[in-house]
A and B are shown apart, each in its own frame.
Chain A
Amino acid sequence: MTPVVELRDVGREYQGVVALRDVSLTVGRGELVGIVGPSGSGKSTMLNLIGTLDRPTHGEVRIDGHAVRDLSDRALSALRASVIGFVFQQFHLTAGVSTVDNVADGLLYTGVGLKQRRRRAVEALETVGLGHRLTHRPHELSGGERQRVAIARAVVGRPALLLADEPTGNLDSKSGEAVLRLLRSLNDAGTTVLVITHDQEVAATLPRRVDVRDGRVVRDA
């Protein structure tokens, strides 16, 4: 069975500044992995490479078996639409739009019709425990609820890989715990989850943690 994420000797430079050097990492299907490191360690660069939002300077990135180097920008867009779900620290919800439509937008670029997008959005919102908040606007929700909406949007397309970038960074500890519980339950249901965080407490609760320092993986256990 092909691993979901495969990095082989991957490096990324930005105008001569090395952000990531010779990183190799394999994440199998169904894993829950934390990528942990302080700011500037290169973990965000890793997220961008794994999320195919960026291409490596050298080395090979394979996502769900697809070699990123061989894919056009259009094909990468299709890969993101079907295989990867993103959760961001800032939630990135569209203001003034109901939770259902925010979540339904997670399927916009997959070719699913509006009616089915909304139906599946309602299901996803029920999964994250927000079945009672369907018509609310983002500003009417608490921070924890907003992040759960963002998670619903990320998983509504049933992606093989869920990438969460500091998902608890803007939340109080109670809401943060609820979000982590949710990510764990999604993982239990079969989704591969990658959590990028600088928070040691968060990292401690995850079954596998990859420590990143100065653009290198220093520990993988």
Chain B
Amino acid sequence: MPDLRPARLSPADVLRVGGAGLRARPTRVVLSALGIAIGIAAMISVVGISTSSREDLNRRLAALGTNLLTVGPGQTLFGEQTHLPAESVGMIGRMAPVTSTTATGKVVDAHVYRNDHIPETQSGGIAVLAARTDLLDTVGASVAKGVFLNDATARYPAVVLGDKAAERLGVAAPNEPVHLGGEWFTVVGVLHPTPLAPELDTAALIGWPVAQQHLGFDGYPTTVYARSREDAVHSVQANLAATANPEHPDEVEVSRPSDALAAKQATDETLNALLLGLGAVALLVGGVGVANTMVISVLERRAEIGLRRSLGATRSQIRTQFLTESLLLSALGGAAGAVLGVLVTTAYATYQGWPSLVPAWATLGGIAATAVIGAVAGLYPAVRASRLSPTEALATP
């Protein structure tokens, strides 16, 4: 007598049988896969957009350099404003790992106006800074129009405007006069925006000598910029205060502008975590939708289950069929969601001018999540289908 052992379905047949139920009801498939798709798309685009934005920052920082340090005067123990010693620029410049230094000094009493009719209070928030002629190279700034100050123009009433300062004063091109500290100055240049030294964007830069001679500038630097060798940034940062003001190192503030940009990025991460959580909720709801669809599908297809049992399907083959259907359903949603998420990321990153980047772990994680959801959502309906007695199933009209 031949041994009675059920034949195994080939993987291709498992997929065919599992997919047959989906092909028969396309509208329902689209609607229940949509929930999963939205969840996956939301999660992938949140991860993709934040990764792209971080990548953009990293590339910008790599271009700007993270080795710029700034030194400024702090306050005494009693809260009085201090100033850096005039020789601090030279002392910092003599530190071995420091490759270049420069400085600006705030001309406290001077303000800049478009002309001499503007009321004194409407200074536009533009600071007048005395600048060394070697400022641009060290801070990584560049001139958009005109030229920067040189040793000659630094002695005369010439001014270079930051990007925003030019905008606020309404100066479109060099050679226009502005009213600065009660005298007429000629604009010789306008700068590009300076990400690592945003204070220059809203500044009017004049020569050190002219500030001292005409505007009562005290000659003390208020910001010293120093570029250090990349490998020594931390040790330079630690020793800057003592070098700049050996008598009162506690009255010196040292900062690293690239850290400030990175910190701003970090605050966005909290919002991302929240959005990611929302995506997870959408995914969960999508999973419930798939489970619901599968339960209804099993109820509706009792006769089919009975027929398959009469054709020789074992319980485990019925279970596999519905589990495969559920997995295919959520995989369909997951694939659509992944494509949608990548599209959203690409569109948004392109709009922002960022490099578009979706990390592989997000895509793989999304696929793994849909597999888990499909398995969990399909398990109960599949077990129910397999436990159905063939006679009862066939008795269903």
Residues of A that sit less than 8 Å from B by CB: 48, 51, 53-54, 65-66, 71, 73-82, 84, 86, 88, 90, 92, 94-97, 105-106, 108-111, 113-114, 153
Q: How far is the CA of A108 from the CA of B13 in the complex (A)?
A: 8
Residue of B2, B304, B310, B317 contacting most chain A CB atoms (<10 Å):
B310
Interface residues of B (CB under 8 A from A): 1-2, 4-10, 12-13, 16-17, 20, 23-24, 303-304, 306-317, 389-391, 394, 397
Of A51, A65, A80, A113, which is within 8 A of B10 by CB? A113
CB pairs A–B below 8 angstroms (19 shown): A54-B390, A54-B391, A74-B6, A75-B5, A77-B315, A78-B314, A80-B312, A92-B303, A92-B304, A94-B24, A108-B9, A108-B312, A109-B7, A109-B9, A109-B308, A109-B311, A110-B312, A111-B8, A153-B311
Contact yes or no, A81 B312, CB < 8 A: yes
- B311 near A80 with CB under 8 A, answer yes
Q: Is the CB of B303 within 8 A of A65?
A: no
B303–A109 contact, CB under 8 A?
no
A106 touches B311 (CB 8 A): yes
Contacts of B309 in A (CB 8 A): 53, 77, 80
Given contacts A53-B390, A108-B311, is CB(A77)–CB(B6) below 8 Å? yes
New contact pairs (5) apart from A66-B1, A78-B4, CB-CB < 8 Å: A53-B391, A74-B5, A81-B7, A109-B313, A114-B12
**B303–A90 touching, CB < 8 Å:** yes
A86 to B397, CA, bound (A): 17
List of A residues within 8 angstroms of B316 by Cβ: 74
Cβ-closest chain B residue relative to A72: B4
**Secondary structure class of chain B's binding surface, majority of residues:** helix
Given A74-B314, A77-B312, A82-B312, CB of A114 within 8 Å of CB of B4: no
| Complex-state Cα separation, A21 to B346, whole angstroms | 73
In the complex, which residues of chain B have a beta carbon less than 8 angstroms from the beta carbon of A108? 9, 13, 17, 311-313
Contact residues in A for B17 (Cβ distance below 8 Å): 108
Is A88 touching B312 in the complex (CB atoms < 8 A)? no
State how many angstroms separate the Cβ of A79 from the closest Cβ of chain B: 5
Interchain CA distance A84-B394 in the complex, whole Å: 16
Tell me the smallest distance from the CB of A194 to a CB of chain B, in Å. Answer: 14
Residues of A within 8 A of B389 (CB): 53-54
| Minimum-distance CB pairs A-B, first 8 | A81-B312, A111-B7, A109-B312, A75-B4, A77-B314, A53-B390, A78-B4, A78-B6
Question: In angstroms, how far is the closest chain A Cβ from the Cβ of B20?
Answer: 7
Q: How far is the CB of B378 from chain A (nearest CB, A)?
A: 20
Task: State the CA gap A151–B316 with chains docked (Å).
Answer: 26
Task: Give the residues in chain A near B390, CB-CB below 8 Å.
Answer: 53-54
Q: Which residues of B lie under 8 Å from residue A106 when comparing CB positions?
A: 311
Check if A53 sits within 8 Å of B312, measured CB to CB: no
Alpha-carbon distance A114/B9, docked complex (angstroms):
11
Residues of A within 8 A of B313 (CB): 77, 81, 108-109
CB distance from A203 to the nearest CB of B (A): 23
How many whole Å from B6's CB to the nearest CB in chain A?
4
